[in-house]
Amino acid sequence: MSRVGLSPLPQPQSTMLSTLWLLLSFAVPVRGIYKFVSCPHGKQCQKALLSGNDVLLQCSSAGAHWYYFFLQTRSGWTTANTSVSNMVTTPVGHLLIRDPLPSQTGLYSCWNKNGTQETQYEIDFQDVSSLHITHKSLDQDPLHNESLELGRQETVFTHWEPWQDCNRCDVPGERKRLGYCYIREPQEEPVPCGIFLGQAKLKSNRLRPEMQVEACFAPCDPQRSYRHEYTVFDSFSFSKESEALWLTCSLGSIYRPIMWEVNGIPLTWRGQLVGQGMNTVLDTSTGGRQLQIFQPATYKCYVHQEFMAQFSPEEQQWQVGKVLVPPKEADSVLKGLKLMLLMVFVLALAGLLFRVFRPAWDKRKNSVLLVK
């Protein structure tokens, strides 16, 4: 078995924040940004995941080639290296799939540069826009098992992943777990719904993933630092045209514990489900990674209980867009940024020299032709 960690995602409000994190991701690779899925060498692994949330499929083979086969279209095996815009092969051979679609459910096969298959995945990207959310403290029940009328006594049920860590420590918090739609036949191993059905279209409200939330309390670890090594401070402002903005918590994911504060008051899934969201909306499709806001305030977000980012109204801004980098990583970050700036400078200089000397070269060519 493998070990692992659609509605369009709302766009983040701050382009400065997005740009800074993009530069840092090139300068200092951070695998924890993505859901990491691994599979033993030479094996085929099956996994259900959620659409709209980035995933990294492991294949530790530099120069690897990936091929995919989508079950809904059955258009044949196609290379992922050039064909699909949201798929990128990393230098070490992993396959990064950004904002995967339910239609990308299928087989993913990694082959090394010698033409040998390294590993193969069967991935079911279940539609996150149909996510069923319940909270234990509200006595809300998860989806019940149901029978399918396909003639083989199939049963639809939810396969639950383990509970994630509590999103706060030393104070009451919340934790969540994800559940995926599976189909089981008598005497057979359960299979994710999308892989089992393939091209078949069934109208059933039961064929969808789930997220369950409950209250929790966890002690803080005295040996641990709860300030992340890359903490972002950014600002925002409302325009006359916009009544709401979206904020994005860096390194957050539906697969990780996330917590937001508004002026020091924590936001909870329970509060949102009962209509007490304090003029905010936690985005369900990202597990709260993105927050919709409607009024100025100071917003902080935490991932795995670590302080990740703070957003302040423009009139209260300080250290706008500043990324705090620890000394031990500062050199590698600066080297990465300097290298990128040097490349831009060299290209710009080459373009300028070409424009300056091209007219002189053209005149010289004309003079030579006249002499002849």
Tokens of 309: 């980012």
Residue 365 lies in a domain: no
Farthest CA pair distance, the chain: 95
Exposed/middle/buried for residue 168 (C-beta within 10 Å: 0-12, 13-18, 19+): buried
Whole-number pLDDT of residue 73: 81
Tokens of 216: 């929790």
Same domain, 201 and 234: no
The predicted model gives 326-343 an average pLDDT of: 48
Whole-number pLDDT of residue 30: 45
Residue 320 lies in a domain: yes
Higher-confidence residue of 237 and 229: namely 237
Residue 336 lies in a domain: no
Q: Please say which residue of 126, 146, 167 terminates a domain.
A: 126
Q: Are β-strands 35-38 and 55-57 bridged in parallel, bridged antiparallel, or unpaired? A: parallel
Residue 198 lies in a domain: yes
Same domain, 119 and 138: no
Q: Please say which residue of 70, 91, 126 terminates a domain.
A: 126
Per-residue pLDDT band at 238 (split at 50, 70, 90): confident
Residue 14 lies in a domain: no
Same domain, 102 and 142: no
Same domain, 211 and 237: no
Same domain, 212 and 141: yes
Query: First CA to last CA across the chain, in angstroms?
Result: 77
The Cβ-side half-sphere exposure at 110, using a 13 Å CA radius, reads 31
CATH of the domain at 277: 2.60.40.10
Residue 195 lies in a domain: yes
Integer Cα distance of 298 and 283 in angstroms: 18
The answer to whether the beta carbons of residues 309 and 236 sit under 8 Å apart is no
The predicted model gives 163-168 an average pLDDT of: 96
- Residue whose C-alpha is closest to residue 121's, from 141, 97, 143: 97
Same domain, 211 and 233: no
- As for how many domains the chain has, the answer is 3
CB atoms within 10 A of CB 62: 11
Look up residue 150 and give its DSSP letter: S
Per-residue pLDDT band at 265 (split at 50, 70, 90): very high
Residue 204 lies in a domain: yes
Q: Which domain holds residue 187?
A: 129-216
